[in-house]
Every structure is written in C-alpha cells, then in structure tokens.
Amino acid sequence: MFIFLAMLASVSIWWSMQHIRYRTVPPDINAALRAKVDRHYLEHHIADAIKTERFDDVKMYVDLAKMLDINLSSTIREQIQNENSRLKRYWRTLREFGSGFLTGKADSAVGLGGSIASDMTLYGDLRDLKREGTKYHEGKPYDKFILELSLVGVGLSASQLLSVGVSTPLKVGTSVIKAAKRSGTLTKPFTKLISKRLSKSIDTKALKSFNPKVIAKHINPAPIKGLFKEINAIRKETSTADTLALLRYVDDTNDLRKIGKLSKRYKGNTKGVMKVLGKGALRAGKTVFKLTKEFIVGIVGVVLSVLGFVVLMIRTFFFGKKKK
C-alpha cells in the first residue's frame, strides 16, 4: 500500500508539473495614458505643435483628446480651426507635396505622400539611383542604404509583378523606409537589420546599370518581403505618415511585431499612444499563473495520496498496536 501511495503521489506531482500554465495580462495602456494625459498636457503640446507648424502632431493630440474624452478649451479649438482654414491648408498641401515629390524629403503626411508618389512613378527611385549611383561609380562617398533601396524600388517598378499589384506593398515599404532614413526616424539597429536583408536582395551586377529592366533581373525581394509586409500592415492600420513616425521606436523585428499588434487595437491613435508612453507601451504585461483542469486533477491526486499515507500511518502505528 505504501508503494502504491508513493507512486500515486509521484505520478500526480509529475502530471501537475507538466500542466503548469501561465498567461500574460497585457498592460493597461488606457490607464497609463489617463495617468499622464489631461487637458493641460494636450493643450500645451497642441499649442507648441501649431507654433512649430507640426500639423500632423496637432491632429494626433486632437485625436487623443477624443479617444480619452477630454474636452479642449474654446481658445485652443479656435487656434486649430484657424490653422485648418481652406486657404492655409491649400498652400501648405501644395508646398509640402511638391517638396516631397521633388526632393524625397518628408516632414508631414502630405510631404510623405509626395515622396511616395514620386517613387511610385519611378521618378523618385531613378532620382536617388542617379544621385547615389553616380557617386558610387566615381568612387565618391555615397549613401549605400539609399542606393540599395532605390535599386530595389526600380527593380520592383520594372518587374511584371507590379502590374498586378503584388509588389505595391513592397514599393510603399521602400519609400517609407527611405523617408524614415532621411528624416532620422530610423534607428541604427533597425537600419543595420534592413541593410543586411537588402544586401541579400541585390546582386552586385545591378550596380553596373541604370537601366530598370537590367536592374530588375538582379533583384530578389524575398529577403525583405516579410519585413516590408509587416510595415505595410502597420500602414494599413494607421497611415503612411504615422508609420514613418512609429519606426523611431523599432530596434528589431520584435518591436515591429509589437507595434503591429498595438496598431490593430489603437488604429489612428497608435502614434499618439507611442508619443505619450514611448516604448513602455511595448513592454510585456504581467505573467500570472493560469489554473487548468489538468493541474487541479494532479493536485487532487497529490492530496489524496498524502491523506491516504497519513491514514495508513495512523492505522499502522496506533490501531495496529491495539490489536496486539
């Protein structure tokens, strides 16, 4: 009997250990936002954004106010309305789009739209390829990162895939990454990661020609496809400009995955959440023990075997002696 109870206890303990489970309780981001954000906080940042003409940030803070049900004062609302007047918005849009299209540099959603439009029409990629490629051939200092992105962009544009839309997300991805590099929102670790994958995507023979059709033959998008697909998924949930801003919080693919998950929940407010909470919004939640039926069965087995052992001991050492 002792052997049976010992075996029951051992098996029950083993069974319980095999079925220990934990679950992660996600951080309460809304509570963290409310602890840090109030009307004064929002109005201060909105006023500063208006003063420095960061109108994308103005919209971001206004959207945060709506999400958190914070009423802005009439004074700040008038300032916002004034900046959104039709004439001002028209000239601002024209100026920013034109600058983005011609130079590839983008400081706003409209400017980024111009930058991407230039890449999608091949103008932007050819412009950058000509600029950096010429430096490369002349042995002058050149931006290898921009050159490789441009080669991929030109190759994708020239490929037959683009005609059916398969390469479009990759094209947008190259433009967003290029703009992020220029604007300084791309972190060094993530730049290094992308560079490694770009190097695997490009045959060095592509650097010997400015002909899009020739370049396309030496481009393999497979190494960068997954990465740019994740970036495009974030873009779909938020916006192209917001994706550019969100990349400043990405050091590796794990950060990118977490921001992707966050964007599915907060959509257009993802940028605002990250702006307020920083990478704290990406931290894993608390890990807590999860009670499962299998674990309970194992514990019951342990308890029963211990009780059986105690009863057997009492019978053996007490009631057994009485019989003598």
pLDDT tens sequence across 283-313: 754 544 455 666 576 666 666 666 666 666 6
Q: Looking at the structure, tell me whether residues 226 and 279 fall in a common domain.
A: yes
For residue 20, which phi and psi values (nearest 5 degrees)? -75, 125
Q: Looking at the structure, tell me whether residues 63 and 154 fall in a common domain.
A: no
Least confidently predicted of 135-139, 202-206, 225-229: 202-206
The answer to whether 13 and 305 are in contact (CB under 8 A) is no
Q: Is the pLDDT of residue 53 over 70?
A: yes
Q: Looking at the structure, tell me whether residues 171 and 229 fall in a common domain.
A: yes
Q: Looking at the structure, tell me whether residues 157 and 59 fall in a common domain.
A: no
- pLDDT tens digits for range 117-167: 666 667 778 888 888 988 988 889 999 999 999 888 888 877 654 544 555
Q: Looking at the structure, tell me whether residues 74 and 126 fall in a common domain.
A: no
Q: Looking at the structure, tell me whether residues 64 and 167 fall in a common domain.
A: no
Q: Looking at the structure, tell me whether residues 143 and 272 fall in a common domain.
A: yes
The answer to whether 149 and 178 are in contact (CB under 8 A) is yes
Taking Cα atoms as reference points, which of 9, 24, 4 lies closest to residue 285?
A: 24
> What burial class does residue 129 get, using C-beta atoms within 10 Å of its C-beta: 0-12 exposed, 13-18 middle, 19+ buried?
buried
Would residue 321 count as lying in a domain?
no
Cα angle, residue 221 at apex, residues 218 and 225 outer, rounded to 5°: 175
Distance CA(107)–CA(93), nearest Å, equals: 12
Would residue 110 count as lying in a domain?
no
Would residue 312 count as lying in a domain?
no
Name the residue range of residue 44's domain: 31-79
Q: Which residue has the higher pLDDT, 183 or 142?
A: 142
Distance CA(172)–CA(157), nearest Å, equals: 11
Q: Looking at the structure, tell me whether residues 192 and 265 fall in a common domain.
A: yes
Would residue 311 count as lying in a domain?
no
Taking Cα atoms as reference points, which of 296, 313, 314 lies closest to residue 2?
A: 313
Q: Looking at the structure, tell me whether residues 65 and 134 fall in a common domain.
A: no
Would residue 257 count as lying in a domain?
yes
Run of H or E residues at 25? strand 21-25
Would residue 55 count as lying in a domain?
yes
Scan for tokens 């650097």, then name that residue: 207
Q: Is the pLDDT of residue 19 over 60?
A: no
- Encoding tokens for residue 77? 């609302």
> What does the CA dihedral 207, 212, 218, 221 come to, rounded to 10 degrees?
110
Domain count, the chain: 2
Q: Looking at the structure, tell me whether residues 148 and 199 fall in a common domain.
A: yes
> What burial class does residue 205 get, using C-beta atoms within 10 Å of its C-beta: 0-12 exposed, 13-18 middle, 19+ buried?
exposed
Would residue 50 count as lying in a domain?
yes
Q: Select the highest-mean-pLDDT range: 89-93, 94-98, 113-117, 123-127.
A: 123-127
